[in-house]
Structure 1
Amino acid sequence: MREPVQLSLTTRGAGAPLLLLHGLYGSGGNLNRFTRRFAADYRVLTPDLRNHGRSPHRPGMDYPALAADVEALLDREGVERVAVLGHSMGGKVAMTLALTRPRRVAAVVAADIAPVAYRHEHATVIAALQRVDVAGAASRREVDAALAAEITSPAVRQFLLTNLVPAAGGGYQWRIPLQLLAEAVPDIQGFPDLAGTYDGPALFLYGTASDYFDPVRHRDAAAGYFPAAEFEALEGAGHWLHAEQPEAFAAAVERFLARTYPAR
């Protein structure tokens, strides 16, 4: 059993604890607007998962390891039971935590992700990042231009560029460990074969324009692990539904939590 990583953490607010988990290539900072909003009612914990943000870089990114990191964080913060909201990879961490440590989880929100294996081209994205000479780049715009040939979406490039930071000797560097992420792609895209179910409240919130959650193909997989699962669609939203429709996303989460996990 690998030693858990001590995750970097931002906390805000008071009351019942609520844990927010970001997706691949992200960090807790990507969820700042929701940390602030939910902190009006909850004690919101927003960590950087391992190999992301300010958290340590370590090999091994299967979901049981990521869930163990989160459990160690809860122990460190004195949190016995928590509601967990996770987007994409963070949603899989949330589901794994609930399935392996159900007594620690009061409710789950999985944002645009199902407990299944995917075949999205993350290896291609990581390889594109590795090919850019960021150390010799004079500006972020130069790095963006170099990525444009392989990553055509400006929004996706801007999201990835949140990981580009100035290097001490000039130029830039990636704050995420690209080689470790490349090695972990099969685990990140997969989902562990876990025994048992989580019988508590669970919401699967998805975008109708996303290819990550199909309400026909993925509903049975979700309900198999989460028999009390509820499903809600955000019309017209893609995979980054929380960034594309932040108000509708936050309102859906708040409605669910008000019924299943009251703040006070």
Structure 2
Amino acid sequence: MRLNVLERGNGFPILCLHGHPGSGHSLSVFTDHLSQRFKTLAPDLRGYGGSQTAHDFSMANHLTDLEALLDRYQIDRCLILGWSLGGILALELALRQLSRVSGLILVATAARPRSSHPPITWQDNLYTGLASIVNRLSPGWQWNIEVLGRRSLYRYLIEQHTPTAYRYLAQEAMPAYLRTSRQATRALAAALKQGYNRLPDLSQIQCPCLVLAGAEDRHIIPASSQETAEHLPQAEWRCYPNTAHLFPWEIPEQVLTDIDAWLERNPQVVSPYPDQPLVISELPRKTSQS
């Protein structure tokens, strides 16, 4: 399938893969910054955003689509950033295209994902719907955060209920949720039912990897992310306290700073020739309001 792609910037390509629900636009916290120095490609995966389909598909189709995307852009070597489901697809793509992937940035994801999410009640769904509607109309409104947001399912997605996080929820999460198809949801549910464990295969991935986790993540617990990092031959792992699954929206400045520092330590991951690493210059970032 020819995927809809949000393409920004110039330079070494970074493929950015969203989670479920999600879209290429929901990775703006990364692409806004990285596209100042690199070429970012943030596709809508099959069944998400602008890549809709009327047919059922499997998770393997995502990988075929992504390989076709790399061919379409004539990309021989790229860095991949994946968030949640996008991180799992990043690992799978690296295993299929070892020579094509220069490095991995894995965000709130794992090769053997485990969850501690409690059962969802009708009250959870009610508060989440109300909080989302109000937040869309008035992003980051403190009353909505305290009265509705903290009682909704957002309490399992974020730990720091700040206006900054809620603005991301309004501008990025809700539109992505509304454009996530039933086919995409069924494909993910079928894959989860089968179970997933790629830990024994991670030794094949020899490129540098950065694995980031939120200490209070209930969707993919941080122990799963740490376990993944321990099985990757060249991985750094960082766990952020007082954050959850959507931690890049809770502490964007800290996450981007750590990614920049990792790129500085591993310049070969953004070089078309691994023996000739590029010199990465630091760019100033705007401070997020909170």
Please name the residue that 1:152 is paired with. 152
**Count of residue pairs the alignment pairs up:** 236
Task: Tell me the CA shift for residue 36 of structure 1.
Answer: 1.8
Structure 1 residues 20-45: Cα deviation after superposition (integer angstroms, max 9, x where no partner): 11110111111123212111110111
Alignment partner, residue 88 of structure 1: 84
User: How many angstroms does 1:89 deviate by?
Assistant: 0.4
Matched residue, 2:227: 220
CA distance in structure 1 between the partners assigned to 2:228 and 2:28 by the alignment: 30
Q: Structure 1 residue 116: deviation in Å?
A: 0.8
1:230 Cα deviation after fit = 1.2
Identity, % of aligned positions: 26
**2:49 match: secondary structure:** coil
Matched with 1:56 is 52
Q: Distance in 1 between matches of 2:118 and 2:180?
A: 14
Alignment of 1:130-169 (within 5 A): 140=133, 152-153=152-153, 158=170, 161-163=174-176
Change (3 A) 1:234 1:15: same
Where do residues 33-52 of structure 1 align in structure 2 (5 Å cutoff)? 33-52=29-48
- Measured in 2, the distance between the counterparts of 1:186 and 1:258 equals 39
User: Counterpart in 1 of 2:93?
Assistant: 97
Contact 2:108–2:225 (CA under 8 A) maintained in structure 1:
no
Give the structure 1 partner of residue 207 of structure 2.
Answer: 200
| Residue 234 of structure 1: aligned partner | 240
Distance in 1 (alpha carbons) for counterparts of 2:79 and 2:36: 15
> Residues 122 and 185 of structure 1 are in contact (CA less than 8 Å); yes or no, is this contact kept in structure 2?
no
Give the alignment partner of residue 64 of structure 2, picking from 37, 62, 68: 68
Shift of 1:87: 0.5
Find out whether 1:247 has 2:253 as its counterpart. Answer: yes
Shift in Å, 1:208: 1.4
Shift of 1:82: 0.4
Q: Distance in 2 between matches of 1:232 and 1:119?
A: 19
- Check the 8 A contact 2:48/2:184 in 1, yes or no: no
Asked if the contact 2:18–2:85 (Cα under 8 Å) also holds between the matched residues in 1, the reply is: yes
Alpha-carbon deviation of 1:104?
1.1
Distance in 2, Cα, partners of 1:121 & 1:61: 24
Q: Deviations over 1:61-91 (max 9, x none)?
A: 32x3322211111110111110001110001
Question: CA-to-partner distance for each residue in 1:126-161, whole Å, 9 max, x for gaps?
Answer: xx99x9xx9xxxx955x99xxx8xx92357685653
- Whole-Å Cα distance in 2 between the matches of residues 89 and 221 of structure 1? 14
Normalised to the residue count of structure 2, the TM-score between the two structures is 0.69
Q: Deviation string for 1:78-116 (max 9, x for gaps)?
A: 111100011100010111111121111000011011101
5+ residue gaps, structure 1, are 165-173
The alignment partner of 2:221 has SS state of: coil
CA contact (8 A) 2:79 2:270 kept: no
Q: For residues 122 and 103 of structure 1, what CA distance do their matches in structure 2 show?
A: 40
Q: Tell me by how many angstroms 1:120 deviates.
A: 6.8
Decide whether the 8 Å contact of 1:85 with 1:108 is kept in 2.
yes
**Relative to structure 1, is the Cα distance of residues 180 and 114 closer, same or farther in structure 2, using a 3 angstrom cutoff?**
closer
Secondary structure of the corresponding residue to residue 219 of structure 1: helix
Q: Aligned AA for 2:236?
A: E
For the structure 1 residues 154 and 88, does the alpha-carbon distance in structure 2 shift closer, same or farther, using more than 3 Å as the test?
closer
RMSD: 3.4
Give the conservation status (yes or no) of the 8 Å contact 2:214–2:222. no
Q: Does 1:78 align with 2:91?
A: no
Could you tell me which of 175, 178, 190 is aligned with 2:182? 178
Relative to structure 2, which stretch is displaced further, 74-83 or 191-200?
A: 191-200
Distance 1:204 1:25 in 2: 21
> Corresponding residue for 2:217?
210
Structure 2: gaps spanning 5 or more residues: 138-147, 158-168, 272-277, 279-290
